[in-house]
Amino acid sequence: MAKSDVKVLGAWPSPYVMRARIALNVKSVEYELLEETFAPKSQLLLQSNPVHKKIPVLIHGDKPVCESLIIVEYIDEVWASGPSILPSDPLDRATARFWAAYVDEKWFPSLRGIGAAEGDEARKAAVKQVAEGLAQMEEAFQKTSKGKDFFSGDKIGYLDIAFGCFLGWLRVTEKMNGVKLLDEAKIPGLAKWAEKFSADPAVKDVMPETDKLAEVAKIIMARLRAAGASK
């Protein structure tokens, strides 16, 4: 397929955009990243995702597919000849989807809560919540990986992509708040997994550098503070 037939509308710092890019890399599908600037949102984004008006959007031919995990599943189904992303076993597939939903609905919001916390006590409580979530993910990793490198076994799969896309922001949170979250002593499985995931050929070129991502985080926090002050 020609590169121009597959486009990802997104922005490099977005963990959700990373999901689409990693899935395409796993399948060895060439694509073009169309950077979204947000100020204002592009006409292509508004046309492609008129309901949510947000990234990522996969444009395959001239047809848009929206929502990051739906995009990952679409990629897995359309380019079926490549390595499988979703588990073949129905129970394993359901389990992977369960933990992916947990990451999106519970864990990542708690990670963002560390940066938003005001005062030492609130910050400690937020860090504790994230650590408890990581302990749960450690347990899930031990069960689903069956002693191998990834949640999906020998190769990167659905839950690896769903969770691994947040590693850049996890490292930024550690750096900016002086905390250690990926603690090898407490969550050895996840700590090793994070290294292997980040170094994988499908991931390494799209995983943002921590310092570069930290600069983006500072801009976001400044905008949020300014918005809060104007109310």
Q: What is the CATH number of the domain that holds 20?
A: 3.40.30.10
Check whether residue 131 and residue 47 sit in a common domain: no
Question: Residue 87, Cα to own-chain centre: how many angstroms?
Answer: 19
Q: Report strand pairing: 57-60 vs 6-10.
A: antiparallel
Check whether residue 94 and residue 184 sit in a common domain: yes
pLDDT of residue 136: 98
Tens of pLDDT, residues 177-193: 999 999 999 999 999 99
> How many domains does the chain divide into?
2
The share of the chain scoring above pLDDT 90, in percent, equals 87
What's the CA gap between 3 and 37, in Å, rounded? 22
pLDDT of residue 117: 86
Q: Report strand pairing: 32-35 vs 63-66.
A: unpaired
Range of the domain at 100: 90-211
C-alpha dihedral over 139, 154, 75, 201, to 10 degrees? 110
pLDDT of residue 222: 76
Question: Residue 100, Cα to own-chain centre: how many angstroms?
Answer: 10
Closest listed residue to residue 14, CA positions, set 64, 71, 44, 54: 54
pLDDT of residue 107: 97
C-alpha dihedral over 160, 105, 97, 155, to 10 degrees? 0
Q: What is the pLDDT along the chain (231 residues), one digit of tens a residue?
A: 445 699 999 999 999 999 999 999 999 999 999 999 878 999 999 999 999 999 999 999 999 999 999 999 999 999 999 999 999 999 999 999 999 999 999 999 999 999 888 888 999 999 999 999 999 999 999 999 999 999 999 999 999 999 999 999 999 999 999 999 999 999 999 999 999 999 999 999 999 999 999 999 888 877 766 666 565
Q: Is the pTM of this model over 0.75?
A: yes
Evaluate whether residue 129 is within a structural domain: yes
Closest listed residue to residue 181, CA positions, set 113, 119, 231: 113
Check whether residue 98 and residue 60 sit in a common domain: no
Check whether residue 67 and residue 114 sit in a common domain: no
What's the CA gap between 71 and 64, in Å, rounded? 10
34 DSSP β-pair partners:
9
Check whether residue 174 and residue 111 sit in a common domain: yes
